[in-house]
Structure 1
């Protein structure tokens, strides 16, 4: 199996909310196609309705066995990147756990128990890198329907002997 990886920067948005149980929500804001020389969790901007943070670097990994999923993401019209974060030790600090361009893996992250999961538009430079990987390594796999093995004595689909057909 062929693999490729690329380091990217992750930018998050923290918005205040009017809620009795939580005072803010985190969401991915964007992916930077290159990792900046900025320390993780640096505040990039503060506005009345949100604070923007550079969360840190992450790696996007590609595998030749998943090229059909990447191709589907690129063909969707607006390719997406999934970002997942988890609270450290039940506290308020977040840890960047996964960044993926595989829609199947991204949807599975929603069921994984991560605290913050969201998608952001894919930058054109990353889309071009993924498209080149798909072009080089994608192999169309033909679907073969398996025939079910019959168990001894299994007569489903076989007419009963001795019964009259009318």
Structure 2
């Protein structure tokens, strides 16, 4: 589904950061982004920054259900600074697990944007249609006795089998005359 990303540009609070860019809304079924200004309040501007494709995968159905069970189901928007002033929209996802992967790299900015009601219904229908419960299989302990053979214990320079953990003594020097 094409998903328009609305980004808000507001003035920074320090002299080192001139602008703060933050995604604030999504537009399901949006057309191509033209940078259209949607709202302006003083120096703060909201504009349609990009249109990305929201792709749902059957393997991520559990992640979508986790997102939908949250108090505020969200779309996670990933922004990447590409060297210019405004960061680019890399992707939008409904999977919190995928968003966490992008958040862990430390270079991308991941923001939660509230999911509109129609999009919630679309994601919920997809997740319920493709979710498969995995049967829990208890792991059983292997009954093989691995403690019967001691390989690699102690110092190989010690011939005495009584104490394999003692340190070797320095070699005694012979006195020659």
TM range (shorter): 0.7 to 0.9
1:60-100, Cα deviation, whole Å (9 max, x unpaired):
11111111110111111210110011122x22132211101
Instruction: State the aligned residue count.
Output: 148
CA contact (8 A) 2:5 2:48 kept: yes
- Offset of residue 135 of structure 1: 1.8
1:85 aligns with 2:107: no
CA contact (8 A) 1:84 1:99 kept: yes
- Offset of residue 125 of structure 1: 1.1
* Partner Cα separation in structure 1 for residue 101 and residue 32 of structure 2: 32
* Partner Cα separation in structure 1 for residue 85 and residue 141 of structure 2: 52
Query: What's 1:72 paired with?
Result: 66
Among residues 120, 130, 135, which one is paired with 1:127 in the alignment? 120
Among residues 10, 15, 19, which one is paired with 1:15 in the alignment? 10
CA RMSD of aligned residues (A): 2.0
Query: What's 1:163 paired with?
Result: none
* Partner Cα separation in structure 2 for residue 120 and residue 22 of structure 1: 23
User: Which protein has the bigger strand share?
Assistant: 1
- Offset of residue 38 of structure 1: 5.0
- Offset of residue 148 of structure 1: 5.4
Q: TM-score, normalised by structure 1?
A: 0.79
SS of aligned partner of 2:129 = helix
| Alignment gaps of 5+ in structure 1 | 1-5, 156-166
* Partner Cα separation in structure 1 for residue 13 and residue 73 of structure 2: 32
| Alignment gaps of 5+ in structure 2 | 149-177
Query: What's 1:139 paired with?
Result: 132
